[in-house]
Amino acid sequence: MTDSPPPASPLVDLPPEAFRALGREAVDVMTAFFEGIDSAAPFPARSPESVHALFDAPVPEVGEDAHAILADWNTKILPNSSVLGHPKWFGFVNGSGSQIGAIADALASTLNPNLGGWKAAPAATEIERRTVSWLSELIGYGKESSGLFLSGGTMANMAALRTALCDAATWDVTADGLQGSGSSRHLTVYMADHETHVSLPAAVDFLGLGRNSIRKVPSLPDFTMDVAALDRMLEEDTAAGMTPFCIVGHGGSINVGAIDNFAAIADVAARRNIWFHVDGACGALGAMLPELVHRYDGMARADSVSFDAHKWLGVPYEAACLLVRDPLALPKAFATTATYLQSSLPSEYTGLNYFDYGPQLSRGWRALKVWMSLRFYGAEGYRAIFRQTIACAKHLHREVARSDDFEVVQPEPELYIYAFRYAPVALRGDDAALDTLNQRIADELLRRKVAFVMTTRIRGRVTQRLSICSHRTTLRDIDETLAAMREVGEELSRES
Ligand SMILES: Cc1ncc(COP(=O)(O)O)c(C=O)c1O
């Protein structure tokens, strides 16, 4: 009996002409998106249930026509999507995305290298190495450092804390975890009480350190870490038998964009031989600006610095960068040993294997979109974008300060993040009412599809908080958003 031939597989590539036609259609869709981005609704204002219902389809048993799949973009996907690249998207700390980055992502997927091992990605690995080194140079962190791209600031903070831990421990953390002989069980990490980003406690959770290992350092009135208090805490904790292993400073904090006093923290860290990590997810790149670089004094002395390319650089998600001053520190924390990865013996094709430098084995080609974006805009182009966003934040501050119905809650912004409060005279002093009113204003702006704004709490009180991260945002967008807030605020105040 002879085996019958297997049925013809539909899993074949499209003929070149069909692929080209599909690609052109996709590029048309992308072009229309970018063309209409200013007039799109920043937020779809649809309920989670209604969006869920739209995609509630059975598993496709039979393959569909690619053009029909693409057609869903305009009918189902776009009308139910948030547009982070909209000039009035001020939520979270989201980057605006870039056209060159979108093209880079398509090209990255086309070659589909795996940036874990050099042999699976020779050119791609060298592009990552070069891009990381460009970024390091641009922020004055020095060419000797090493680093890599990770999914985001959260993973970068996690990787930095593990690196710090492996560096500080007197035992082999890789072998004995947190329980090696010499472990005092009192490993402690220091971060500011007000502005520390939630990704840092998450990193502590992830590493199994326990939240009690976090020592919250008081903040100064300008929301930076009180370094004198830090020093006192370190003194007391060390005397009490604890093992401080890391201090985290912020380069552009989440609520108010504060930049810590890096030089002072670096002094303390050096004197006490403790790892100093700068979480610069939002703003480490501000060191690229000559007029601001003095605010980053001491950052070059940090043991590690992380920042998100998918924020201020506008590179499409996901891309964060972690830089570490000691090139041996990352492999100490992450090196793998499997012979099937390393090859059993070195050869002339043994190159840089990024799986030895971070938590991922398989890795996508994040570097391509950063590399292409840096080449496309150039450092000067990015400086111009940064200046524009900072100018927007400063303008907002001035408008808030000179108004009698908004209230200043932070110093003049140095970066692009700014918090403030709607506080009409009649309600001043009634914090509970102002909290509710400010939240309702933000919600109403979303509902009206005017702008995407979110609130936060500053020293316990609900405030508006705008992250003006987009290269598309102009002073006019700021004025229109503030005017809309005022209009809604007045309406809601009259109602209550
Ligand atoms: C200061 C800070 N650190 C870390 C993160 C986490 O970054 P990601 O969202 O890329 O994981 C953020 C995100 O906004 C942040 O603002």
How do residues 326-379 score in pLDDT, each as one tens digit?
999 999 999 988 888 877 778 888 899 999 999 999 999 999 999 999 999 999
Contact between residue 196 and residue 250 where contact means Cβ atoms under 8 Å apart: yes
Q: What is the pLDDT of residues 21-63, one digit of tens each?
A: 999 999 999 999 999 999 999 999 999 999 999 999 999 999 9
Give the per-residue pLDDT at 144.
84
What's residue 170's pLDDT?
Answer: 85
Ligand 1, residues at Cβ distance < 6 Å: 93, 152-154, 157, 197, 199, 250, 254, 279, 281-282, 308, 320
Ligand 1 nearest-atom number relative to CA 282: 16
**Beta pairing class for 320-324 and 214-217:** unpaired
Ligand 1 centroid–CA 318 distance in Å is 12
Q: Any idea where the domains of the chain sit in the sequence?
A: 16-81, 114-364, 378-495
CB atoms within 10 A of CB 229: 16
**Alpha carbon of 248 to ligand 1 centroid (Å):** 13
Copy the structure tokens of residue 178.
Answer: 């947190």
Helix (H, G, I), strand (E, B) or coil at 189: strand
Q: Which atom of ligand 1 is nearest to the CA of 254?
A: 16
Helix (H, G, I), strand (E, B) or coil at 466: strand
Domain 16-81 in CATH 1.20.1340 = yes
For the entire predicted model, the pTM comes to: 0.96
- CA end-to-end span of the chain, whole Å? 85
Phi, then psi, of 419 in degrees rounded to 5:
-115, 145
pLDDT given for residue 183 in this prediction? 65
Q: Which residues of the chain have pLDDT under 50?
A: none
Half-sphere exposure of 413 (CA within 13 A, CB side): 34
Q: Rounded to whole angstroms, how far apart are CA atoms 360 and 356?
A: 9
| Ligand 1 center–CA 198 separation, angstroms | 8
Neighbours of 2 (CB within 10 A): 4
Hey, which CATH number is domain 114-364, 3.40.50.970, 3.40.640.10, 1.10.3720.10, 3.40.50.1100?
3.40.640.10
Distance CA 414, CA 295 (A): 9
Nearest CA residue ID for atom 5, ligand 1: 153
**pLDDT for residue 496:** 74
User: What's the 402 CA to ligand 1 centre distance in angstroms?
Assistant: 31
Q: Quick check: 204 and 189 in contact, CB under 8 A?
A: yes
CATH number for the domain whose boundaries are 378-495: 3.90.1150.170
Any bridge partners for residue 246, and if so which?
189, 275
| Cα(96)–Cα(100) distance, integer angstroms | 12
Question: C-alpha distances in angstroms, 162 versus 125, 335, 357?
Answer: 23, 12, 12
**Facing residues of 427 across strands?**
none
For residues 463 and 44, give the distance between their C-alpha atoms in angstroms, rounded to a whole number. Answer: 23
Cβ-contact 322, 150 below 8 angstroms: yes
Q: Which residue, judged by its Cα, is nearest atom 4 of ligand 1? A: 153
Nearest-CA residue for ligand 1 atom 14 is 93
Q: 89: which DSSP letter?
A: B
List residues bridging with 406 in a β-sheet: 422
Ligand 1 centre to CA of 282 (Å) is 7
Query: Quick one: which atom of ligand 1 is closest to the CA of 320?
Result: 10
Note whether 312 and 416 are within 8 A (CB): yes
Contact between 298 and 277 (Cβ < 8 Å):
no
Q: What is the pLDDT of residue 8?
A: 64
Phi/psi of residue 246, nearest 5 degrees: -160, 140
